[in-house]
Amino acid sequence: MYQPRPGPDRSVRQGAARSRPGWVLGRVGGTPVMLAPSWLLVAAVIVALYFPVVRRVAPFASTTAVVLTTLAVVVMLFVSVLVHELAHGLTATRFGAPPREYVITFWGGHTAFDQELPTAGSSALVSVAGPAANAVLAALAWLALRAVPPDLTAFLVVYGAFFTNALVAVFNLLPGLPLDGGRVLESLVWAVTGDRVRGMTVAAWAGRVVVVGGVLGAALYFAVRGLQPGLTTVVWVALLGSFLWSGAGQTLRAAQVQRSAQGLDLLSLATPALALPAAARLADLPAALAGREGSAVVLVEQGRPVALLDPAAVRQVPPENYAATPLTAVARGLAPEQAVHTLRGADALAAVARAQRHGPVVVLLADGGVLGVVEVARVARQVQRFGAR
Mean pLDDT of 337-361: 90
**Are 279 and 332 within one domain?**
yes
**Are 85 and 47 within one domain?**
yes
Please identify, among 215, 235, 263, the residue that sits at the C-terminal boundary of a domain.
Answer: 263
Q: How far apart are CA 279 and CA 298, in angstroms?
A: 12
**What is residue 14's predicted lDDT score, i.e. its pLDDT?**
37
- Burial of residue 44 (number of CB atoms within 10 Å: 0-12, 13-18, 19+): exposed
Does residue 200 or residue 61 have the better pLDDT? Answer: 200
**Are 247 and 281 within one domain?**
no
Per-residue pLDDT tens digits for 9-33: 333 433 333 445 689 999 998 999 9
**What is residue 11's predicted lDDT score, i.e. its pLDDT?**
37
**Are 239 and 271 within one domain?**
no
Per-residue pLDDT tens digits for 152-209: 777 878 888 898 899 889 999 999 999 999 999 999 999 999 999 999 999 999 999 9
CATH number for the domain harbouring residue 294: 3.10.580.10
**What is residue 259's predicted lDDT score, i.e. its pLDDT?**
85
Cα four-point dihedral sign 40, 43, 47, 49: positive
Does residue 17 or residue 364 have the better pLDDT? Answer: 364
* Domain region containing 348: 266-388
Amino acid sitting at position 44: A
**Are 212 and 283 within one domain?**
no
Cα four-point dihedral sign 270, 271, 274, 275: negative
**Are 289 and 245 within one domain?**
no
The number of domains in the chain is 2
**Are 281 and 163 within one domain?**
no
**Are 279 and 218 within one domain?**
no
Q: How far apart are CA 176 and CA 1, in angstroms?
A: 12
**Are 68 and 31 within one domain?**
yes
Q: 309, 310, 295, 307: which is closest to 338 by C-alpha? A: 307
Residues 6+ apart with CB under 8 A from 148: 154, 155, 158
Q: With contact defined as beta carbons under 8 Å apart, do 153 and 54 qualify?
A: yes
pTM, 2 dp:
0.75
Please identify, among 239, 263, 287, the residue that sits at the C-terminal boundary of a domain.
Answer: 263
**Are 211 and 326 within one domain?**
no
**Are 270 and 216 within one domain?**
no
**Are 229 and 290 within one domain?**
no
Please identify, among 198, 230, 263, the residue that sits at the C-terminal boundary of a domain.
Answer: 263
pLDDT at 8 over 50: no
Check whether the bond before 178 is cis (ω within 30° of 0): yes
